[in-house]
Amino acid sequence: QDTIPFLTTIITKAEADEMNPLVLAFVGDSVQQLYVRTRLAISSDKKSGALHKQQGNKGEAQADKIEKLLPCLSEEEVAVYKRARNAHYSSSAKNASIGDYKKASGFEALLGYLYLTGKHDRLNELLSIE
């Protein structure tokens, strides 16, 4: 199975554009976690503890992923990413450089934006790019 179904929560582009980009990242973090955990669960017979360890360093991986995806993104998607990447952060990165942390937050915001606006095919497309 190539795609993983998502819930059908949909808001308008205008509503998403009005949301705080870090709130979009909050949603996007959960979306990516569900995607990764689902992929691991259906492709492995390992126990949950081993699967949890297999996830790796999320912030660094997300920063690397967005660097690969940037050439594939539309102007709208890049704008969402940059809005979150450049947002003011009241917390700091725990296991990543501040640069990677900001890139990862931008990536998560893009995922949250695509999820909340109902662009689930595009979400699956971007998440499946290795």
Per the CB < 8 A criterion, the answer to whether 64 and 130 are in contact is no
Between CA 67 and CA 60 the distance in angstroms is 11
Q: What does the block give as tokens for 9?
A: 């929560």
Annotated catalytic, 121? Answer: no
C-alpha angle 67/40/4, rounded to 5°?
A: 75
Catalytic residue among 29, 45, 100, 121: 29
Give the residue numbers marked as catalytic: 29
